[in-house]
Amino acid sequence: MTQTDSDPELNVDTKIWNHHPSVPIQIGGIFRNILNPFAVLKGIAFSWFGTYVRGLFLGLIVLLWFTVFPEIEEISRGSGVWIFKVYAINLSLMLGWTGGLHLYFYTLHIQNRFLAYDVKSMQTGSKFTFGDQVWDNMFWSLISSLTIWTAYECGLLWLWSQGAIPKWSWDDGAIWFIALFILIPFWDGLHFYVVHRILHWKWMYKYVHSVHHRNINVGPWSGMSMHPMEGAIYLSVILIHLILPSHPLHIAFHISWYALGPAATHCGFEAVSVAGGKYPRLGDFFHQLHHRFFECNYGNSDVPLDQLSNTFHDGTKAGTRKMLERMKLQRKERE
């Protein structure tokens, strides 16, 4: 008998969850074994080319960069046509990836509810734009977030073409060229935690972040369903390239992954299942807990900032009780 079997508090609430990973969940990625170089290298490789889709996305962006992206010479000339090319690429990526996941899981129901985290599925109601969660999420993703994504990307590519931000190429040094790709997810984790805490300040939450948090039972289109102010804050992660020597490929991959990755982490399913297998891994139970309970798991599971800040929910009933006790104490301190 396991500890979870003997202590119900160390299990999940089955009234909420249809499916879940082993609990208590573990976070911290490579930081759990930071003093073991082999474990660190293995963890980094697995996070890119294991069951995740990050490595596949890098390959896709590289392919697009050398085939359909506008040339740097075209960007530097200042003609606005190239901006529409980038917008068309981004629109196609969002429709293909986010729309494809929605089609697979929620329209065609290919897996039914197998590996779906939440007991309930997508919702309707007056809190959503057009009274429907899917249409609400598509509106904010395609009209707002897609535009902001493209604006950031085009702005940085133009600055790079003008020599206004630090440049780096493979010829300048392969080590930094590769290392920057590896470092990007860790910067993402730090940035996301900090701005996410800001978005939960009372005013920001009420007037801005609440648009995203309408989604308790999340789906692929929920990932980038954001108020324009939140979209600008969230995607500001890309501004690190104003100070770090980068190549346009770093910029294009970074913001494309950051804009499209949420479709996977919000898809509501642990993974695509083929013949009983689980590949690729998509949903993130760590963040699913945040949408359910709001005041926990502000960062991501790769960087252990929630553990350090005492805001980590491990998925168990005990974790929920601990979170509620913390919130009660915080309310008393504010009185």
Q: Which of 294, 202, 253 is nearest to 56 (CA)?
A: 253
Average pLDDT over residues 192-216: 97
- Predicted confidence at residue 246, as pLDDT, reads 98
Give the pLDDT band of residue 3 (cuts 50, 70, 90): very low
- Predicted confidence at residue 2, as pLDDT, reads 43
At residue 6, does pLDDT exceed 90? no
Average pLDDT over residues 203-230: 97
- Predicted confidence at residue 162, as pLDDT, reads 96
Q: Which helix (H) or strand (E) holds 278?
A: strand 277-281
At residue 125, does pLDDT exceed 70? yes
Based on its alpha-carbon atoms, the radius of gyration of the chain, rounded to whole angstroms, reads 20
Is the distance from CB of 131 to CB of 141 less than 8 angstroms?
no
Interatomic CA distance for residues 295 and 317, integer angstroms: 15
Q: What is the pLDDT of residues 288-335, one digit of tens each?
A: 999 999 999 999 988 999 999 999 999 999 999 999 898 888 777 665
Helix-helix angle 248-265:54-67, to 10 degrees: 140
How many other CB atoms sit within 10 Å of the CB of residue 91? 15
What's the pTM?
A: 0.94
Average pLDDT over residues 68-92: 95
Q: Which residues pair with 271 in a beta bridge?
A: 281
At residue 98, does pLDDT exceed 50? yes
- Predicted confidence at residue 205, as pLDDT, reads 96
Please give the single-letter amino acid code of residue 141.
S
Structure tokens belonging to residue 238: 């890309």
Interatomic CA distance for residues 178 and 268, integer angstroms: 32
Contacts of 187 (CB under 8 A, 6+ apart): 237, 240
159: left (phi over 0), alpha (psi -120 to 50) or beta: alpha
Strands annotated E in 50-115: none
How many other CB atoms sit within 10 Å of the CB of residue 30? 18
List the chain domain ranges.
Answer: 11-334
261 CA to centre of own chain: 5
- Predicted confidence at residue 301, as pLDDT, reads 86
Please give the mean pLDDT across all residues of the chain.
92
